[in-house]
Structure 1
């Protein structure tokens, strides 16, 4: 497959404009965490202040996630996404204006970012539901790989650009740049035309729609098995990378803070490199490949405990980043091919809820365990559980046998029960 074929999904103007919108908005999102962190610290130089703002944002997002799935399935997802982008633009612009003028208070920024978090709960389900509507089924994996490549690449570049803006002109202007990207994304989304049937609103109460989404979610064994497995592995991953990693790096002179940054950059590089492969390589059994790859992520977790040094960890995290990408592309493609478009946003919101709930669990759990258990023992044990849970998911025939459906006749994707 040549380069032109690898980028074939862009030949569809609908996907090309959606890809442009996603790329531009992701560029702003990649800058936002750095800009926001320094903006908060500019107001109140304490970890608790930053924790307050980020905590409120996350809680608001989780609280509205299921509602976001229902709304995205009821109305045109492009319209939902445009409204969400507009509100994100306004909230980030308000925060930027307050900071630039020197009138910002911690309470104001906390409220604004809480609103921003609530809006993001509508963004994610809407975006997930759009992809199968703007690209041919045969190119779904390729489209997901391209979107992931954009996200991963900007995840490396965005924070660096935000850092330069913070140093050069201040955190307020970095947030203003983030706000502007959503204006461009709204314009690009206006060029995306979805099928007429997608605009048909789902009739019924919010509770009924949530029940229908839950029924669709639980009726697919492959779906809930993977979500349950990742509820465990995500908690471990967040605990190890977010808590144990910095702790080991700081207490190991051969690594240090700078070395830990290099290691995380290696993981990001592995993700980016694998997206290039996934544009050209088709996964016949996306979940089988994804869960085997997920088990490989246990390797860098174990090495962090056994051989905490920059070179072996950088190599291991490079491989781990590649493994993360194999699962990510395979998972998104499986959702797009095997879940009806009419309920896709609700199903993806239940999936996302399972992932986000695991984040605080892992953070608090490992903060506690690190004070009770020897670090090497904790990390090696965590790696073993991580691999065991990942491979255990393959015990389900529906997980290991789920196939890529690109060769089936065109038409609306139906359930694979």
Structure 2
């Protein structure tokens, strides 16, 4: 049963809910700031290349330079974040991102940036992200109690998604008014401010970690945690395909359909914004809804991600495509909150970041390949066939992961029952509630 809403008498003087501690508030505020800057900077980096006379292929090279280090260094970043204090890893990553974006901004504002320089700087930014993401997720998990995990993750994701929508809109407006260089400068400043907030995290009650057996040993321990939980690696494998085909449809096919059949980039931008609004609606829903079977409900909510690709294949009129995007955004946010809650419930705290790194790595590993082959696939089979193929793959891999018993049976528990390395998640029993509930950390 969900806890009762916080009454005015239970609201602390800070104005935040009683369950939202100082660290949670700082982490959320810092994430909002960086998302406001980064979503605008992604647009700015593309326009910086184009304004310098680059081609669409050059834009793709700069984008790939950001993604490749993310894939290469994620696992190392996860091991480092479980070995060193996570807040220090986060601050160091923010510092690297701040410097790389600041130099990028200076080159754009004062000179004639070369393609190799832009690729190098975005690669440094991607490297910072690879170390930051596992540390940030592990830190967030460690600041949230089991009782309030669902609400905390929903609020966090709502804030971050809202910042992403606002950041993209603000970034586009600033590029039009002042140029790409100033948006990159704003992103550098956002990383600096977020780093200051993260440096202020209170880690006095965080248990110190032992030295461990070395980086490779830490990676092996994370792999054991990952591979011995079928629900975990099953859903990560599912999302390696889902993220790849949805990414290809959004990044490659969507703009082409918009240009040829929907009236240009404005309708496609509107559809994407409705997806973002849907994610906020999903987060609001998850603030009050706590489904018992976490992964079953979450996985069922992945099926609607096939609808945008199918809608583009038809293609649907703009209003219908926007409705489909809103529905899929809402549904995937339901999955996202349930997924974070399941990880928080099942994974030992000292291994959060390594497991998160395997999750991130598996989810994004096929994305560069999918976007690279999207054009040749369209040439070979036609755009509509390629889009129907994307939709079909989402449905097939999602149906396949439902055959994993633990995905169907894993249930929410009132306390964080952390299984050992070879432990499977506790499944719901037909005649009795799950046992072995431990006290909150």
> How far is the alpha carbon of 1:125 from its aligned partner?
0.3
Contact in 1 for aligned 2:296/2:408 (Cα 8 Å): yes
Partner of 2:384: 376
Instruction: Measure the CA separation in 2 of the matches of 1:148 and 1:9.
Output: 19
> How far is the alpha carbon of 1:196 from its aligned partner?
4.5
Q: 1:260 to 1:94 in 2, by over 3 A?
A: same
> How far is the alpha carbon of 1:403 from its aligned partner?
1.4
1:9-408 aligned within 5 A: 11-194=20-203, 196-252=205-261, 254-405=262-413, 407-408=414-415
SS in 1 for 2:113: coil
> What 5-or-longer segments of structure 1 have no aligned partner?
none
Instruction: Measure the CA separation in 2 of the matches of 1:304 and 1:59.
Output: 28
CA offset digits 1:117-164 (Å, max 9, x no partner): 111110100011011221222111211111211121112110121122
Contact in 2 for aligned 1:134/1:194 (Cα 8 Å): no
SS in 2 for 1:199: coil
Instruction: Measure the CA separation in 2 of the matches of 1:305 and 1:266.
Output: 19
Contact in 1 for aligned 2:240/2:363 (Cα 8 Å): yes
SS in 1 for 2:301: helix
> How far is the alpha carbon of 1:414 from its aligned partner?
3.6
CA offset digits 1:168-204 (Å, max 9, x no partner): 2222111111111122212212332236454324422
Q: 1:169 to 1:72 in 2, by over 3 A?
A: same
Q: 1:401 to 1:207 in 2, by over 3 A?
A: same
Aligned length in residues: 413
CA RMSD in angstroms comes to 2.1
Instruction: Measure the CA separation in 2 of the matches of 1:9 and 1:380.
Output: 47
CA offset digits 1:71-102 (Å, max 9, x no partner): 10001101110111111111111111222222
Q: 1:317 to 1:176 in 2, by over 3 A?
A: same
Instruction: Measure the CA separation in 2 of the matches of 1:180 and 1:329.
Output: 29
Question: Larger % of helix: which?
Answer: 1
Q: Compute the TM-score of the two structures, normalised by the length of structure 2.
A: 0.88
Contact in 2 for aligned 1:73/1:201 (Cα 8 Å): no
> How far is the alpha carbon of 1:307 from its aligned partner?
4.2
SS in 2 for 1:395: coil
CA offset digits 1:328-378 (Å, max 9, x no partner): 111111112111111111111111111211212222333222122244344
Q: 1:107 to 1:201 in 2, by over 3 A?
A: farther
Instruction: Measure the CA separation in 1 of the matches of 2:212 and 2:20.
Output: 35
SS in 1 for 2:203: coil
Instruction: Measure the CA separation in 1 of the matches of 2:112 and 2:370.
Output: 36
